[in-house]
Structure 1
Amino acid sequence: MASLIFLTHPEVVIDPLVPIPRWPLNDTGRRRMERFADALSRVPLSSIHASAERKAMDGAAIVTERFGLPCRVHEDLGENDRSATGYIAPPEFWEVVNDFFGRPHESIRGWERAIDAQARIVKAVSRIAAEETRDTLVVSHGGVGCLLMAHLQGVEIGRESRPQHPGGGCFFVMDRESFSLRQDWLSIEEAVFPQE
């Protein structure tokens, strides 16, 4: 059965003076992506897809360079639109994120509503799954993965399982054809893929 592996980008360079979509991976994030690429050596990947945000494209590039595969970039795999506020420093940021997931039918501080972001993301990943014929990797973001996971688990937004690594770099595996969850969240460090 062909798989779709959904990966959240790992650690980034946080710079309040740079627009969030242009933040790159930091050294730790790059090392962790190299480790994930090592684990993927047993997976017969045929394609790689990424959000248009730099941190996701940086992560995807490490895998594309390793395996000589092209990467397709998709605007609709991006995080929820937070341009109304721009950068918000923790811990306030996490309070706003909790409101985003806790009140999915409302726009929190002008952010894209969670239900709208979820519909966009499910449509984007469904399109990728339908277009591919073999195993594929999608590199995106934590919020995107949580909204997609809520859909896959058939639960309300905010009640889905969540990635546990504080730096991101977590993944789950879907059955591409049935668009169903096969493997719940794991961190890059836990990645062991069986030979197909």
Structure 2
Amino acid sequence: MSWCVYLTHPEVRIDPDVPVPEWGLSELGRERATKAVRQPFARDVRQVVSSDERKAIETAQVFAGHLRVFHRVYNFLHENDRSATGFLPPAEFETTADAFFANPGESVRGWERAIDAQNRVVNGIRSVLRQIPDDHPVLFVGHGAVGTLLMCHLMGEPITRQRDQKRGGSWYRFEKRWLMDQMGRHLAWTEL
């Protein structure tokens, strides 16, 4: 089997009047995504897969266009569902996100439960990988919270925010077979 990279979208244009899934990349985010195609992993990627949120699609399109590879979009790779609260000011968002990770079996303020988001993303990525040849390295472009939930699963650890990225536009590499076994692995985010 081959390997995968999970990459989070970089900076976005925040607009409280626009639903969060419709936010696109900011100028800085687009610049960082463009530079990311020079990462060591990029030259070997054979498939690009993203969530259907605009910021993830825009990031994925930079890679797919540069690498001239197929880009697939899947709804189930979206960020944890936070539509119950919509936009939250930064300090309030961070407090709510802390509670989301600290209480994975509970819905915090109507948000999707962390355990449900983790199961959705892990099972979704497994499903995608069944459709892709084993020798094709895959770039998954998604979001920070669900990327952290995936990382916790791959490491065989409980859900924790201690594994969260420090900044959007970070990535980690994992082996496809790690999704199939229960052995913990050590992973860490790398900023673009």
Superposition TM-score, scaled by structure 1 size: 0.89
Please give the secondary structure, in 2, of the residue aligned with 1:39.
coil
Which piece of structure 1 moves more, 37-46 or 95-104? Answer: 37-46
Structure 1: unaligned runs, 5 residues or longer = 189-196
What is the TM-score when the length of structure 2 is the normalising length?
A: 0.91
Change (3 A) 1:24 1:8: same
Query: Displacement, 1:184?
Result: 2.3
Specify the SS of the correspondent of 1:157: coil
- Count how many residue pairs are aligned between Structure 1 and Structure 2: 186
1:147 and 2:149 are equivalent in the alignment: yes
Q: Give the match's secondary structure for 2:171.
A: strand
The corresponding residue for 1:54 is: 54
Q: Which amino acid aligns with 1:128?
A: V
Letter in 1 for 2:156: G
**Amino acid of the structure 2 residue aligned with 1:113:** R
Give the ranges of 4+ consecutive aligned residues of structure 1 lying more than 6 Å apart after TM superposition.
none
- 1:64 is matched with 64
Q: Does 1:136 align with 2:138?
A: yes
1:186 aligns with 2:190: yes
Which amino acid in the other structure matches residue 151 of structure 2?
A: M
Alignment check: 8 A CA contact 1:6 1:139 kept: yes
Q: Residues 25-78 of structure 1, C-alpha deviation per residue, up to 9 Å, x if partnerless?
A: 001111111111122576322110001000000000101111111211011100
Q: How far 1:2 sits from its partner (Å)?
A: 1.5
Q: Equivalents in 1 of 2:84, 2:175: separation in Å?
A: 36
- Partner amino acid for 1:185? W
For the residues of structure 2 that align with 1:149 and 1:41, how far apart are their CA atoms?
A: 18
Aligned counterparts of 1:147 and 1:163: Cα–Cα separation in 2: 11
Task: Single out whichever of 6-15 and 174-183 deviates more from structure 2.
Answer: 174-183
Question: Which structure 2 segments of 5+ residues have no match?
Answer: none
Structure 2 SS opposite 1:6: strand
Query: What SS does structure 2 have at the residue aligned with 1:11?
Result: coil
Deviation at 1:131, TM superposition (A): 2.3
Partner AA of 2:150 in structure 1: L
Secondary structure (helix, strand or coil) at the match of 2:73 reads strand
Shift of residue 169 of structure 1? 0.4
RMSD, aligned CA:
1.7
> How far, CA to CA, are the matches of 2:42 and 2:165 in structure 1?
23
Percent of aligned pairs sharing the same letter: 39
Output the CA distance in 1 between the equivalents of 2:171 and 2:42: 16
Question: Which residue of structure 1 lines up, in the alignment, with residue 164 of structure 2?
Answer: 162
For residues 7 and 130 of structure 2, what CA distance do their matches in structure 1 show?
A: 18
